[in-house]
Amino acid sequence: MTPDWYVVVALCVVAAAAGWVDAVSGGGGLLQLPALLIANPGQEPSVALGTNKMSSILGTSAAAIAYGILERPRLSTALPMAFAAFGGAAAGSAVAVHVPSQVFRPIILVALIVVWCFIAFRRDMGLVAREASRRRHLVTAIVGGVAIGFYDGAIGPGTGSFLVILLVAALGYTFLQASATAKIVNVGTNLASLIVFGLAGSVLWVVGLLMGACNIAGAIVGARMAMAKGSGFVRTVLLAVTALLIVVLAVQIVRG
């Protein structure tokens, strides 16, 4: 059932904010997915997940294009990673039907806390680019793409942040380079999940498209702001978003 018009307006406002966050550091789903769950309390959670993917793929695609104009991503890494993440996301979406997300949350929470501390106390990380071997790029793209894609399909929020963190820590990208590359990979994960949820009839297409238009606007503003302010700004937003994700997951685990 389609929500009332004023609920859709509120969802569009949230989608614009989510697009900005996602374009800068990833993690826009932290805003968008809870809003969809609250707006449609009587529907299956899969409908919120599917509609979130419809909106997100539009905003992520816009951010990828905006970054690509000035901060050219390394396609030799981004494309294999996107294909690997596509497969991982499809598998994660299929598993999510049978295995509750509660199983994964404690593991992810510990990983996030470790990552947050690593970024917070390594103040120089991600501000100056480091070179990695071609083999390391390929292995990271495939293994990391499958793992993070699986997470995106099974749970979702924070995928872009995980991608940025992986690219910075494993391949020596700056936060700005990582954010630009992550957008291409995130398009792959969103597309895979959208196909799975779409075939299952779990997408509110009109609501998703309206939210997507607002997500695009927020994503373009966020990408331009990130490129103007640089890696230090992306690092600050990433730490804030990761901290929020830690709190959200901790609350979900406590509530059971």
Q: For the segment 241-253, what is each residue's pLDDT rounded down to a tens digit? A: 888 878 887 887 7
Average pLDDT per block of 10 residues along the chain, 256 residues long: 84 95 86 84 80 94 89 83 93 72 70 81 73 88 93 80 88 89 91 89 93 96 92 88 83 78
83 with 184: CB under 8 angstroms?
A: no
| CA-wise closest residue to 62 among 93, 14, 30, 28 | 28
Q: Which amino acid is at 103?
A: V
77 with 36: CB under 8 angstroms?
A: no
Residue 121 has what pLDDT? 84
Dihedral angle over CA of 43, 47, 51, 53, nearest 10:
150
Phi/psi of residue 234, nearest 5 degrees? -60, -40
Residue 15 has what pLDDT? 96
Q: Which two tokens stand for residue 30?
A: 């932290």
174 with 129: CB under 8 angstroms?
A: yes
Distance CA 209, CA 202 (A): 14
Residue 208 has what pLDDT? 95
Give pTM, 2 decimals.
0.84
Residue 20 has what pLDDT? 96
The ranges assigned to domains in the chain are 5-255
Distance CA 31, CA 216 (A): 15
Residue 126 has what pLDDT? 65
Residue 19 has what pLDDT? 95
